Amino acid sequence: MSLSPLGASRSLAAVFTPIKSGGLVDEVCRRIELAVESGLLASGQRLPNEVELAGALGVSAVTAREALSQLRGQGLIRTTRGRSGGSFVTENSFPSLVQARGKLMELTRLQITDLGLHFQAIAAACAAVAARRSSPEDVESLRNYIRPQLDDGEPATAFAWRLSAAEFLLEMASVARSARLAREMLRLQADIGTMTLLPFSDPAFCEQTAALNSSITEAIADHDATGAEARTRELITSTITWLLAEYAGSPH
Amino acid sequence: MNGKEAAPSAAGVGEPSATTTTAGGVPAVIPEGAVPAGARELAALIDSIEAGIDAWAQATTEWLSGQSKPTGTAIDKFIRPAVARMLHEPGSRLAGAGFVAVTGLLGHGRSYIAWWQGEDLERVDALANFSPSSISRYVKTEWFKVPVETGRPHVTGPYIDLLCTDEYVLTFTNPVFSSGTIAGVVGMDVTAQTLERAGLASLRSLGPGAVLVNAGGRAIVSASPTVDAGDLVQAAPEAAIYPVGRQFRIITHTV
């Protein structure tokens, strides 16, 4: 079987796309941004120094230094000198609604709807397979992420809701036990993650998400693939609909 | 390295015996005669992995017991060459391996992870050692908690490992001690795919419906056209059941 000329040239174009210089520096920055954004590195926390960072990530000290300087430029970290000096994650640097909104407004409407379709396809596939393969232990761990678990009386922040919602979907992918679907879900979370902070600043949206997460969990517990898939589609649709309304400046 | 599955209620530690129990607890007797070659081959495959981690845990315990105050650097220096040797061994079955310290081993409130994966010996989650919230993810996992709490070897999975390999894996972990006190675990990740490549032919020789399952009855490798790795299965009444390693078994027929 031979590829059509069009097909061949398309795949070749992807192979021979120039590799951007400075890609490694950007990659180091992206990792640290992700760690901060996902709450793994907290505000005020000391970052490893150049040498430690280089050793940890397997890059040269020059690359680590450049990355730290780039992050400083972005205002994500600040560096102090002296004995107790070092690089620290700046207070309230991440995650912010302003940044999330900035990211949303950078996109086109077309990009948002397309991302939504991809997200929905993957999440729905995970839900259906998860319903087939779930054990009682799986259902227990899904229940932990229906809504953020907090100490008594402490109100859940938009950030806590967003983390919990992301964990719920990743847990569902784990219950499905497909490495490919789980990897795709991780990638999608990275793409859409920051933006999903926005709808979780809306209490009505939070409660709706918890209600849908709960029905998805029950469908998965009952091995009801059709139900789990349908509720998951609703869940993703509600996120994208909220983001599109925000994008258009219309009320939710 | 993440994952959860029903912890085995009675992990059979020791020599394979002639009888075992089905997922439903119904005793099943292996038919008259010797255990067939295919079942012995699969048992040898898992035994070799388990013997490997036993020896490594022993060596790590001996080394740690000679350290008055272990540091991250010292741990890296001891663990990394061992991981490199195991990953680069011809025919190595490992996707990754490493050590995770119990909280407090390196100083007040501190844990530590020294784990590498792949041919290039990529360090896993290197930033975790700088982030207390990040390392707590590891100490909560089944593969860490069970050996630390029971003081015995454990196999976790198969599960989707979103913390390091991003693959469908089994994690074998053994406790390690420092002068008799629990100090952490050493662990090895083996992908379900690796076990299929190494063991499918042996499994097929036991019949067209044979499945290798974990303690919770979850398929790890399947020769059956109706069972996929990841599915939960139950033994059919006519099934022969053969123990494999400390926690797995082969079921020749499933319902």
Cα–Cα separations (whole angstroms), residue A167 to A92, A173, A193, B19, B163: 22, 10, 11, 41, 13
Q: Which residue has the tokens 């061992």?
A: B82
Q: Diameter of chain A by CA atoms?
A: 67
> Would you say residue B128 lies in a domain?
yes
For chains A and B, count residue pairs whose Cβ atoms are closer than 8 Å.
79
pLDDT, mean over chain B: 87
Mean pLDDT to the nearest integer, B67-89: 94
Beta-bridged to residue B156, according to DSSP, are: B171
Q: What is the pLDDT of residue B30?
A: 56
**What confidence tier does B133 reach under pLDDT thresholds 50, 70, 90?**
low
Question: Which residues in chain A are contacts of B218 at CB distance < 8 A?
Answer: 135
Output phi, psi for A179, to 5 deg. Answer: -65, -40
Nearest CA in chain A to B136: A40
> Would you say residue B154 lies in a domain?
yes
Q: What is the pLDDT of residue A40?
A: 65
Q: How far is B169 from chain A (nearest CA, A)?
A: 9
Q: Do residue A45 and residue B123 have CB atoms under 8 angstroms apart?
A: no
> Would you say residue B134 lies in a domain?
yes
Q: What is the secondary structure of A37-80 as a DSSP string?
A: HTTSS-TTPBPP-HHHHHHHHT--HHHHHHHHHHHHHHTSEEEE
Nearest CA in chain B to A167: B162
Q: Do residue A179 and residue B231 have CB atoms under 8 angstroms apart?
A: no
Report the CATH number at residue B182: 3.30.450.20
> Would you say residue B181 lies in a domain?
yes
Share of chain A above pLDDT 90, in %: 46
pLDDT at A38 over 70: no
Q: How far is B168 from chain A (nearest CA, A)?
A: 6
pLDDT at B21 over 80: no
Q: Tens digits of per-residue pLDDT, A126-177?
A: 999 999 999 999 999 999 999 998 777 778 888 889 889 988 999 999 999 9
Q: How many domains does the structure of chain B reveal?
A: 1
Nearest to A58 among B122, B166, B232 (CB): B122
> Would you say residue B27 lies in a domain?
no
Mean pLDDT to the nearest integer, A191-209: 91
Distance CA B222, CA B199 (A): 10
**Containing H/E element for B213?**
strand B211-213
- Name which of A29, A30, A31, A40 to mutate to probe chain B: the one with the most chain B Cβ atoms within 10 A of its Cβ: A40
Q: Do residue A47 and residue B159 have CB atoms under 8 angstroms apart?
A: no
Q: What is the pLDDT of residue B86?
A: 96
What is the distance between the terminal CA atoms of chain A, rounded to a whole angstrom? 51
- Specify whether the CB–CB gap between A245 and A103 falls below 8 A: no
Token pair recorded at residue A119: 């997200």
Q: What is the pLDDT of residue A46?
A: 79
Nearest to B133 among A40, A141, A170 (CB): A40
> Would you say residue B157 lies in a domain?
yes
Q: What is the pLDDT of residue A1?
A: 43
- Specify whether the CB–CB gap between A100 and A198 falls below 8 A: yes
Nearest to B159 among A56, A174, A186 (CB): A174
Q: Is the peptide bond before B132 cis (omega within 30 degrees of 0)?
A: no
**What confidence tier does B139 reach under pLDDT thresholds 50, 70, 90?**
confident
Q: What is the pLDDT of residue B47?
A: 97
Mean pLDDT to the nearest integer, B88-117: 91
| N residues, chain B | 255
- Name which of A53, A63, A170, A174 to mutate to probe chain B: the one with the most chain B Cβ atoms within 10 A of its Cβ: A174
Which residue has better confidence, A153 or A195?
A195
Which residue has better confidence, A119 or A32?
A119
Mean pLDDT to the nearest integer, A48-74: 84
> Would you say residue B59 lies in a domain?
yes
Q: What is the secondary structure of A178-242 as a DSSP string?
A: -HHHHHHHHHHHHHHTGGGGTGGGSHHHHHHHHHHHHHHHHHHHTT-HHHHHHHHHHHHHHHHHH
pLDDT at A221 over 80: yes
Nearest to B127 among A39, A56, A133 (CB): A56
Q: How far is A177 from chain B (nearest CA, A)?
A: 6
Q: What is the pLDDT of residue B251?
A: 97
Distance CA B185, CA B179 (A): 15
B68/A contact by beta carbon, under 8 A: no
Mean pLDDT to the nearest integer, A98-117: 92
pLDDT at B62 over 80: yes
Q: How far is A52 from chain B (nearest CA, A)?
A: 9
Distance CA A239, CA B167 (A): 28
Question: Which residues in chain A are contacts of B123 at CB distance < 8 A?
Answer: 56-58
What ipTM score was computed for the predicted complex, to two decimals? Answer: 0.78
Mean pLDDT to the nearest integer, B235-242: 96
Q: What is the pLDDT of residue A22?
A: 61
Question: Which residues in chain A are contacts of B5 at CB distance < 8 A?
Answer: 135, 137
Looking at chain B, the number of H-run helices and the number of E-run strands are 5, 12
List the domain range (segments joined by +) for residue B82.
Answer: 44-191
Token pair recorded at residue B116: 């590498």
Q: How far is A110 from chain B (nearest CA, A)?
A: 30
- Residues 116 to 155 of A: which have CB under 8 A from any B CB? 132-133, 135-138, 141
Nearest to B167 among A42, A135, A179 (CB): A179
**Containing H/E element for B243?**
strand B241-244
pLDDT at A8 over 50: no
> Would you say residue B224 lies in a domain?
no
Domains observed in chain A? 19-89 (1.10.10.10), 97-248 (1.20.120.530)
Q: What is the pLDDT of residue A94?
A: 56
**What confidence tier does B134 reach under pLDDT thresholds 50, 70, 90?**
low
Number of C-beta neighbours around residue B208 at 10 A? 10
